[in-house]
């Protein structure tokens, strides 16, 4: 590549919070501040007890099932509104929306989400990336973008199985915190990160490998 394209590539990677390559390697945790008026009224707003709160035990078991043994690679859990969003490796351009009450039913999981072993899911995603790279339209991308994506294809690492289990097992603790508690969370096994949004409108992007340290330093004593 030309020096100019190398410079552009470096800028693209530096500028992005969560890029095609995931969280920048020197930023294992990113905090984003939201609406200041929400922060100022945090303690005046009573926590809403949702269907997710009521059904979290069976939901947690099914959330693990989705990410470890089913086609889902990205999971959004809306604690406040009971909205569950999923994305499937078999239809990666779309999201699916589900009600929490239905997602607590194992038979619903069986019907809605094809069974895929975690190892097969990783292989499928890897093949999908390289199939995209073989498309003629992909080859029309600027050199620096193809270089970024080719590196991503060669070096990406999924979330570890025990990281998924640990993250889901701690969400109830974060939800039950008395002051600053989670409103929603997104877990992506492909990009190996967790996005957590709190009632104060703050958002944290945390790498899966840094998740426990994030809890110890910021939230759980």
For the segment 27-55, what is each residue's pLDDT rounded down to a tens digit? Answer: 444 444 444 544 444 444 566 688 999 99
Listed in sequence order, the DSSP H helices in the chain are 3-15, 36-40, 51-54, 56-69, 100-103, 106-112, 118-133, 143-155, 161-175, 211-218
Quote the domain boundaries for residue 91: 3-218
Report whether pLDDT(81) > 60: yes
In this prediction, residues 104-122 reach a mean pLDDT of 97
The pTM assigned to this predicted structure is: 0.82
Question: What pLDDT does residue 21 have?
Answer: 43
Share of the chain above pLDDT 70, in %: 76
Report the number of distinct structural domains present in the chain. 1
Checking if the pLDDT of 24 tops 90, the result is: no
Please tell me the predicted confidence (pLDDT) of residue 120: 98
Q: At residue 6, does pLDDT exceed 80?
A: no
More confidently predicted of 216 and 158: 158
205: which DSSP letter? Answer: E
Task: Report the chain's terminal Cα–Cα distance, integer Å.
Answer: 49
Distance CA 214, CA 204 (A): 10
């Amino acid at each position: 590549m030309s020096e100019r394209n190398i410079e552009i590539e470096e800028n693209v990677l530096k500028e992005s919070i969560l890029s095609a390559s995931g969280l920048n390697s020197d930023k294992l945790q990113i905090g984003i501040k939201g609406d200041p008026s929400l922060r100022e009224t945090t303690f005046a707003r009573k926590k809403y007890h949702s269907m997710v709160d009521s059904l979290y035990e069976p939901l947690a078991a099914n959330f693990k099932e989705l990410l470890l043994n089913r086609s889902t690679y990205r999971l959004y859990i809306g604690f406040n509104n009971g909205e569950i969003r999923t994305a499937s490796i078999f239809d990666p351009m779309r999201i699916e929306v589900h009600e929490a009450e239905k997602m607590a039913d194992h038979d619903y999981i069986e019907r809605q989400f094809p069974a895929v072993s975690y190892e097969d899911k990783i292989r499928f995603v890897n093949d999908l990336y390289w199939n995209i790279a073989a498309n003629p339209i992909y080859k029309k991308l600027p050199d620096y973008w193809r270089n970024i994506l080719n590196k991503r294809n060669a070096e990406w690492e999924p979330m570890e199985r025990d990281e998924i289990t640990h993250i889901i097992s701690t969400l109830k603790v974060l939800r039950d915190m008395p002051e600053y508690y989670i409103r929603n969370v997104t877990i992506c096994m492909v990009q190996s990160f967790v996005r957590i949004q709190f009632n104060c409108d703050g958002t944290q992007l945390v790498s899966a490998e840094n998740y426990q340290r994030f809890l110890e330093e910021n939230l759980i004593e």
